[in-house]
């Protein structure tokens, strides 16, 4: 997982064929904005080398280009995503978002008719879990607005060869799985999606947008409205109780898990 606390938008000159062009660069640093200038120089050098050698962009671990809201510890960082919600990025826990359930033959014959979707997701997840315990013995299962969130105490690296196959077995979203691999971490939204709480939308194109007065005014209103909603509610614990873990306690508090608020 790569996050940066300080960001700059700058321009560097790059030679493309026989021309020199100004190329915009978003550069980040954990040290300072001044150091981000040095990072921009390094990025420009990499771009120039790739152009000179006619190389394609390599498939490297992607930097999470989001503003760092809070750094809980080295393995858990909270960032602000593209629509303004806070997101936990973790390399300590495995986090699965389940918005659908695996299809079974009996579904054709209406065997599940009358069973609500979230109950089916939970049933099918536990059924798969009984056959494949590679997620570990300890986990917390939460209800979300659209489905379930499962936080496993065991950390499974997104870089292992079988990762995509494992996520597919539990019906984890393919885009989410791809991002886990690309960013080498798991993500869990901590605050509501703005449209679900009737908050005016905002589009955050870079971490620097979070330094503007427009964002600060938007965030103040968003925080006020968010206080009446929950993002997740605990419905079951499997194995040992690790709710007292610092990061889990933080997750539950920010998600308002212990309140009878509507989910958003």
pLDDT, tens digit (0-9, with 9 covering 90-100), for 139-148? 999 999 999 9
Please give the pLDDT value at position 70: 96
pLDDT, tens digit (0-9, with 9 covering 90-100), for 4-17? 999 999 999 999 98
Of 10-19, 48-57, 193-202, the poorest mean pLDDT is in: 48-57
- For residues 219-248, give the mean pLDDT: 97
pLDDT band at 107 (very low <50, low <70, confident <90, very high): low
Please give the pLDDT value at position 112: 61
Residues 189 and 149 in one domain: yes
pLDDT, tens digit (0-9, with 9 covering 90-100), for 124-137? 899 889 887 899 99
* pLDDT higher than threshold 60 for residue 110: no
Residues 73 and 48 in one domain: no
Tell how many helices (H) and how many strands (E) occur in the chain: 6, 12
* 152 inside domain: yes
* 213 inside domain: yes
Domain that holds residue 167: 67-254
- For residues 68-96, give the mean pLDDT: 97
pLDDT, tens digit (0-9, with 9 covering 90-100), for 184-199? 999 999 999 999 999 9
Residues 177 and 104 in one domain: yes
pLDDT band at 100 (very low <50, low <70, confident <90, very high): confident
The closest alpha carbon to 82, from 159, 157, 179, belongs to 179
Whether residue 48 contacts residue 14, with contact meaning beta carbons closer than 8 Å, is answered with yes
* 93 inside domain: yes
Average pLDDT across the chain, whole number: 92
Residues 128 and 17 in one domain: no
Backbone φ, ψ for residue 127 (5° rounding): -65, -45
* 131 inside domain: yes
Residues 25 and 156 in one domain: no
Residues 143 and 208 in one domain: yes
Domain total in the chain: 2
Residues 194 and 106 in one domain: yes
Last residue of a domain, one of 60, 83, 102: 60
Half-sphere exposure for 208 (CA within 13 Å, toward CB): 11
* 248 inside domain: yes
- For residues 227-241, give the mean pLDDT: 97
Residues 125 and 159 in one domain: yes
CA 172, CA 151: separation in Å to the nearest integer? 13
pLDDT band at 101 (very low <50, low <70, confident <90, very high): low
Residues 227 and 104 in one domain: yes
Radius of gyration of the chain (CA): 21
In order, the DSSP letters of 80-141 are: E-TTS-EEEEESSSEEEEE-S----GGGGGTTTTT--HHHHHHHHHHHHHHH--TT-S-EEE
Torsion sign (Cα): 223, 228, 231, 237: positive
* pLDDT higher than threshold 70 for residue 258: yes
Residue 253: strand, helix, or coil: helix
* 263 inside domain: no
Start-to-end CA distance of the chain, whole Å, equals 27
CA 159, CA 180: separation in Å to the nearest integer? 9
Cβ atoms within 10 Å of 237's Cβ, excluding its own:
13
Last residue of a domain, one of 34, 60, 86: 60
- For residues 21-47, give the mean pLDDT: 94
* 118 inside domain: yes
Residues 212 and 244 in one domain: yes
- For residues 249-256, give the mean pLDDT: 98
* 262 inside domain: no
Residues 40 and 146 in one domain: no
User: 86-90 and 94-98: which strand pairing?
Assistant: unpaired
* pLDDT higher than threshold 80 for residue 74: yes
Residues 127 and 9 in one domain: no
The angle at the Cα of 119, spanning 118 to 120, to the nearest 5 degrees, equals 90
> Burial, 114: exposed, middle or buried (Cβ in 10 Å; 0-12, 13-18, 19+)?
exposed
CA 235, CA 73: separation in Å to the nearest integer? 27
Last residue of a domain, one of 19, 35, 60: 60
């Amino acid at each position: 997982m790569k996050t940066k606390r300080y960001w700059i938008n700058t321009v560097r000159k790059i030679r493309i064929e026989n021309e020199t062009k100004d190329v915009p660069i978003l550069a980040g640093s954990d040290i300072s904005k001044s150091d981000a200038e040095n990072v921009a120089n390094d990025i420009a050098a990499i771009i120039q080398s790739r152009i000179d050698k006619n190389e394609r962009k390599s498939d490297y671990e992607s930097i999470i280009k989001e503003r760092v809201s809070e750094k809980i510890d080295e393995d858990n960082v909270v960032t602000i995503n593209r629509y303004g919600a806070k997101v936990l990025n973790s390399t300590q826990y495995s986090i699965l978002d389940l918005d659908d359930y695996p299809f079974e033959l009996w579904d054709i014959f209406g065997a599940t008719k009358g069973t609500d979707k979230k109950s089916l997701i939970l049933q099918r997840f536990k059924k798969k879990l009984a056959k494949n315990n590679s997620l570990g013995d300890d986990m917390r299962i939460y209800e979300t607005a659209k489905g379930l969130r499962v936080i496993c105490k065991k950390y499974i690296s997104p870089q292992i060869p079988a990762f995509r196959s494992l996520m597919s077995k539990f019906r984890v979203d393919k885009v989410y799985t791809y991002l886990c691999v690309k960013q080498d971490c798991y993500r869990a939204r901590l605050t509501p999606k703005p449209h679900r709480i009737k908050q005016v939308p905002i589009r955050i194109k870079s971490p620097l947008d979070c330094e503007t007065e427009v964002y600060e005014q938007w965030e103040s209103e968003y925080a006020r409205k968010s206080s009446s909603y929950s993002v997740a509610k605990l419905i079951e614990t499997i194995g040992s109780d690790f709710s007292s873990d610092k990061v889990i306690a933080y997750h539950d508090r920010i998600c308002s898990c212990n309140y009878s608020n509507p989910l958003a």
